[in-house]
Amino acid sequence: MARQLDEQIAGRFPVGQRLRVLDVGMGQGTQALRLARAGHRVTGLEQDPKMISVARDALSGEPEGIRERMRIIEGDGRDTGVHFLPGSFDVVLCHGVLMYVEEPDPLVAGLARMLAPGGLLSLLVRNGDALAMRPGLSGDWAGALGAFDTVNYANRLGLDVRADRLETLTATLAGIGAPLQTWYGVRVFTDTTADGAEPPADMGPLLAAEERAGKTDPYRRVAALLHLCGVRGGTA
């Protein structure tokens, strides 16, 4: 995700430009902190008090310059219009949030309104066109058969959530004036890795393989997650 995001930022903004970044559903602040360290001014929006506490603890250990560039706001991604004026950000991230939202279109439209012209919208969603892959590769044939005709599934936390199809989100982004420019697959080869499994001593080959597959058909189409990048006022 970090490599993909940096690739998009580098390709759309002048080198050295300090960007205004909004991270909606920032979780523990992994991407938000990384971008603040890179010199950008970052606002993290999160509704889970535990995640906010983790993010604030991590931020407190950073140098003063980084702490000054990042702020954390408690809130829901659906109320961005309450907290911010339209066009306030150059980059808006919404990673791992849409699967918890029953009707994603209003949320995505609200995120697009936060973008300045030419701004980048980065979405990470569960791939609704590949829900049968995880149970199928695990030998759960009944689960695989049941996944073909739905976008609903139970995640690893046991929660009933939903996935998004590439075609549907492409139409949504076009309709809100932030058409899809690029998309990637995420977790092409590693989705069935057991929770808590020890990573390989040398992560380089694994990351290189995932990065290559995430840009290459047909591999990216069966990834567990999709990373979609739309541009405000762009052309499809």
- Average pLDDT in the 8-13 region? 96
Q: What is the pLDDT of residues 113-129, one digit of tens each?
A: 999 999 999 999 999 99
pLDDT at 76: 84
CA neighbor of 93 nearest in space, from 156, 26, 23: 23
Residue 197: band (very low, low, confident or very high) from pLDDT cuts 50, 70, 90: confident
Q: What DSSP string runs through 163-229?
A: -B-HHHHHHHHHHTT--EEEEEEESSSSTTPPTTPPPPS--HHHHHHHHHHTTSTTGGGG-SEEEEE
Q: Does domain 2-231 have CATH number 3.20.80.10?
A: no
Q: What DSSP string runs through 88-127?
A: -EEEEEEES-GGG-SSHHHHHHHHHHTEEEEEEEEEEEEB
CB under 8 Å to 209, separation ≥6 — which residues?
Answer: 189
43 three-class SS: strand
- Secondary-structure breakdown of the chain: helix, strand, coil percentages, each rounded to the nearest 5: 40, 25, 35
| Percent of the chain whose predicted confidence (pLDDT) is above 70 | 100
pTM above 0.75? yes
- Average pLDDT in the 215-223 region? 98
- Average pLDDT in the 23-30 region? 96
- Average pLDDT in the 46-75 region? 95
Q: For 53, list phi and psi in degrees, rounded to 5.
A: -65, -45
The Cα 183–Cα 215 span in angstroms is 8
